[in-house]
Amino acid sequence: MVTKTQIENVLRTIPDPEIGVSLWDLGLIYEINIDETSGVVTVVMTLTTIGCPLFSLISGPIKKEVGALKGVAGVDVELTFEPPWNMERMSDSAKTQLGFL
């Protein structure tokens, strides 16, 4: 069975298509759920802004890369804006890459 750590490691490699920093380091990933019975992984995430048109460009690589992990039967990506994203969610690595530190 796949683990949350394995999924997190994959998410660390998927960049935001505009910013180039990983989705994980940007703090866009809110939740990872694994249904042990079905093997379906659900990733709950947000975007930096409500009107961002890039959800399909972001969710596609998540489905592809997480779906390639052994034991994953499917991937659902759910979008939420609660709580709203803010810069405090970014890792220090992301803040450094973007020139905030």
Q: At what angle do helices 4-11 and 55-67 cross, to 10 degrees?
A: 130
Query: Tokens in use for 73?
Result: 């039967």
Q: Verify cis geometry, omega within 30 degrees of 0, for the bond prior to 83.
A: yes
pLDDT at position 16, please?
93
Q: Hey, which bits of 11-97 come out as E strands?
A: 29-34, 40-45, 74-79
Structural domains of the chain, ranges and CATH numbers in brackets: 4-95 (3.30.300.130)
Looking at residue 81, its pLDDT comes to 94
**pLDDT band for position 3 (50/70/90)?**
very high
Give the pLDDT confidence score for residue 51 in this predicted structure: 82
* Both tokens assigned to 12: 């660390």
Residue 53's pLDDT is what? 84
Residues constituting the chain: 101
The predicted model scores a pTM of: 0.93
Residues 47-84 pLDDT 10s:
988 888 889 899 999 999 999 999 999 999 999 999 99
Tens digits of residue pLDDT in 19-53: 899 999 999 999 999 999 999 999 999 998 888 88
> Measured between alpha carbons, how far is residue 1 from residues 35, 42, 43, 61, 73 in Å?
10, 14, 16, 21, 10
What pLDDT score does 62 carry? 98
For residue 39, the model assigns a pLDDT of 96
Greatest C-alpha distance within the chain: 43
